[in-house]
Every structure is written in structure tokens, then in C-alpha cells.
Amino acid sequence: MTETTANPYLSGLFAPVHEEITAIDLPVTGRLPDSLRGRYLRNGPNPLGAPDPATYNWFGGVGMVHGVRLRDGHAEWYRNRWVRSDEVAGLLGEKLLHGPRHLGMDFAPNTHVQCFAGHLLALVEAGSLPYELDEDLFTIGPFDFHGTLPGGLAAHTVIDPHSGELHAVAYCPALPYVQYLVAGTDGRIRRRVDIPVEGRPVMHDFSLTERHVLLYDLPVVAADPAEPGADPVRWDDERPARLGVLPRDGRARDVRWLEVDPCYVFHPMNAYERDGVVTVHLVRYERPFDRRPPNAVQHPALLERWTVDLAAGTVRRARLDDREVELPRADPRRLTVRHRFGYAMAEAAAGDDRHRLGVGLLKYDLERGTSEEFRVPPGGDVGEGVFVPSAPDAAEDDGWVMAYAYDPGRGASDLVVLAARDFAAGPVARVHLPVRVPVGFHGNWVPDGM
């Protein structure tokens, strides 16, 4: 075993690519829907240089955004670009961009990419600022919402489809609070609520309903700065697991903390409420980042429904699938309100090749309790599936699901496009990219005109 392969996140399908590519007029198998006019973008870690395999952590790799431009049934281009923090620009021998910082942090966001108020933003958590990109994925620089962002932002945001406003819950291990933030459609922060928390909880994501914000304060915490060399995050047995319920127009003192079973949640799918009951679909882990025997094993990520009775102050859990899944998504037009369909990436099971993360995509009918699966071939891999409606007023599952998938036969990746209403039939189109897209995190479809 070589030094490189000793770290699974530096080899196989996780291995970083080493150059930026621009390819035009990409070959397509099948037929791209004419209604798809825009860019499919996805962010992920892609370290520069030669990181030390003994210390490299996947979550710490600098961000690279991969994009495909579609229009009128054609795949016009593929681009991949590193996000230029000052550090990255310096390593590439380019002029430094400079710009605002939070607590002096200069990090190239590696987790998500979101378009809001005319700004295309690469996102990351833990106190760093988002970085703005142009339409060709070149970095403009750090973005602080026109001087109104009070700290860092978050890896995950929710754009309310009814108001068009952006909501986020931002945390920073150096601060004794998390911030609920609301940005208006003018791209400026209009609301901030500082919510005291102790012990450096890692709040990777949150949920939003029409009336409430849900905070996942769970027993996974960031490393203590006084412990150099410690794991970046760890499981904390001493920390209670709780769900915070904050009215959208409430203050910190209005948060209700409800006890939940010890667990961790990276990603909820969606949340909505009716008659004082909040329903949340999410992916739950039992004891992640607990590396002590006998717990130092792979903990499956399973889809659950949580039912929160606000009057009784209780949270009831129900498992919806025994398959390991992650990266759940819903129709963006249904965020904060009742939804019927959801999508997730099927993960490689324990004992499978862990250099493969996603072995398929799943479509869930949450009303009927059924699912359909698109599975990639042995040796292949697929990332997060993003739903794109066929038209603004189309039915909830009338549209397309898009993802990057590695084709072992070509040794490169495709952008696959599946019809949501005929999910198991496989892609209606494959856009053949000239390179492999490394396993990464999250992305979005950015239609023309945004």
C-alpha cells in the first residue's frame, strides 16, 4: 500500500484532479430535454499540491466547482474551477483577491453552491464567508452580503419559495452561539438572532417550515482549539441531544428545546407543519465520529420521519427505509410546505467498496411508502441527485433529476438526466464529460435568468 492509498480520500474515485478543464460542445447519449436551459453546478473538496496522507481530512480540502451548461438540447460546455481563496490563488501563482474576512478565515468553500439575489455563492460552514463566482465559475471574491453579514454563513441555506428570501443557521466553534439569519431579496441580511449554545456543536444543516426554524443541537462537536492534533469533530457522550424550535419571528428566548434520542443529522430533506404538528424527513446517524471500541464501526445513515408535536413537546421517530442513504433532496418549490416526493443517494453498504460512495439514486413516494431506484454499474459511482421541475407550474414530480455519475467503462464522468416520473428506466440523457469528477458534496441547478 502506498502512502497515497493509505488515505481513502486521496485515491480511487475520491482522488483530486490536478488541472482546470474547459470543454465545449460535449457529446450526449440520448436526448436532453429542451426545457433545460441553465447550468448544473456541484462543489466538493479538491486539494492542491500534495497533501500529507497522514493528516489530510476530506472536509478540509479546498473547494472545486464543476459545471455543465445546457441549452436547447445541447451541452455547451463543461468547466471545473478551484475556488480562489488567497491561499489557493497564491498556490496557483495568481493575484490575490483579498476582500472581507470573518475572524481572519481564508478558506475556499468546498461544500455547496447556491444562487441568490443575482450572486452565485460557494458555501462552507464553521465561520467562513461564502465566495462569489461569476457565470463561468471564476472567483470574484469573498461575499459578505453587501457588508451586512455579521459573521460567517453556513454550508446549507434554504430559499423560501414563497418569499424568495434566504434563511440559514450559521455556527462557528469560536463563538458561544449560533445565528439564525434571513437575507432579503436585495441580497442583504435583514434579520439576525443569536442563540446561545455551549460546547461547540456542529450544526451542519437546519430545517425551515412556514412558521418555524428547527435547530439540530446534537452530540457531535468541533475540536477544542486547546487540543492541537485532535480529530476535527468527535462524538460527545456528555452532550444531550435536542431539537430547537424557534418561531421565525421569535427571539433567542423563544426557542423551545425538545429532547431527542442521541444521534446526528447531517441533512434533512424537508420540513412542514399542520395543526401544531411538524413533520421532518431526514437522514439519521446513530453514533458517528465515535471512534472508541466497540463503536468505531461504520454507522449507517437511514431515512426517518420525525413527527414533532409542538403542544406535547415530543418528537416521535419512524424509520422509512433500511437502505443506507444520504444527500436527501426535495422539489425546491415544496420547501417549507408538505411534499410527497423526495430523492436520495443510495450509499455503498458496509463491506462494499468504500471507494464508492453512491451506488444509486432513489425516488421516494412518501405518501404511499414506496420507492424506485436507479443503480449504477459495478465500479461506478453517483453523487447527489438534484430535482429540476419541467416548468414553473409543473406537478411535483414532473421534471428531471440530475447528478454526476462515474462511468467505469470510459474512465470519466457523465452528467446523467433522469425523468422523475420514469425513474427506474435510467437516464434519458448522458452528457459525457472529458474527465472524472471526484466524489464531492452538494450542488444546484441554476436556470438561465437567475
Reported as a single tens digit per residue, the pLDDT across 129-157 is 999 999 999 999 999 999 999 999 999 99
Predicted confidence at residue 348, as pLDDT, reads 82
280-327 pLDDT, tens digit each = 999 999 999 887 766 555 578 999 999 999 999 999 999 999 999 999
Would 410 be classed as within a structural domain? no
Residue 166 is placed in which grid cell? Answer: 434566504
Please say whether the beta carbons of 215 and 255 come within 8 A.
Answer: yes
Average pLDDT over the chain, rounded to an integer: 94
SS3 label, residue 243: strand
Would 77 be classed as within a structural domain? yes
Which parts of 162-312 are beta strand (E)?
166-171, 177-183, 189-196, 206-208, 212-217, 220-222, 233-235, 242-247, 256-259, 268-274, 277-285, 301-309
Would 349 be classed as within a structural domain? no
Question: Regarding predicted confidence, which is higher, 279 or 59?
Answer: 279
CA–CA gap between residue 416 and residue 407 (Å, rounded): 10
Would 41 be classed as within a structural domain? yes
63-79 pLDDT, tens digit each = 999 999 999 999 999 99
Lowest-confidence range among 22-31, 95-104, 183-192, 193-202? 95-104
- Residue 83 CB partners (closer than 8 Å, separation 6+): 43, 62, 63, 64, 65, 108, 109, 110, 122, 131, 133, 139
pLDDT at 3 exceeding the cut of 70: no
Domain carrying residue 151: 8-330
Would 176 be classed as within a structural domain? yes
- Residue 99 CB partners (closer than 8 Å, separation 6+): 141, 142
Would 419 be classed as within a structural domain? no
Please say whether the beta carbons of 387 and 343 come within 8 A.
Answer: yes
Please say whether the beta carbons of 213 and 176 come within 8 A.
Answer: no
Q: Indicate the pLDDT class of residue 98, thresholds 50, 70 and 90.
A: confident
Q: What angle do CA 163, 165, 169 make, to 5 degrees?
A: 130
Q: What percent of the chain has pLDDT over 90?
A: 87
Would 389 be classed as within a structural domain? no
Nearest to 220 by CA among 162, 168, 284, 154: 284
Residues paired with residue 281 on neighbouring β-strands, in sequence order = 270, 305
Would 369 be classed as within a structural domain? no
What is the count of structural domains for the chain? 1
Q: Indicate the pLDDT class of residue 2, thresholds 50, 70 and 90.
A: very low
Which run of H or E residues covers position 66?
strand 63-71
Beta strands 370-375; 74-82: pairing state: unpaired
Predicted confidence at residue 300, as pLDDT, reads 85
- Phi (first) and psi of residue 424, to 5 degrees: -70, -15
Burial of 411 per CB tally in 10 Å (0-12, 13-18, 19+): exposed
357-404 pLDDT, tens digit each = 899 999 999 999 999 999 999 999 999 999 999 999 999 999 999 999
Residue 232 is placed in which grid cell? Answer: 476535527
Which run of H or E residues covers position 90?
helix 86-91
Q: Indicate the pLDDT class of residue 1, thresholds 50, 70 and 90.
A: very low
Predicted confidence at residue 172, as pLDDT, reads 95
Q: Indicate the pLDDT class of residue 230, thresholds 50, 70 and 90.
A: confident
Predicted confidence at residue 153, as pLDDT, reads 97
Q: What angle do CA 325, 329, 334 make, to 5 degrees?
A: 145
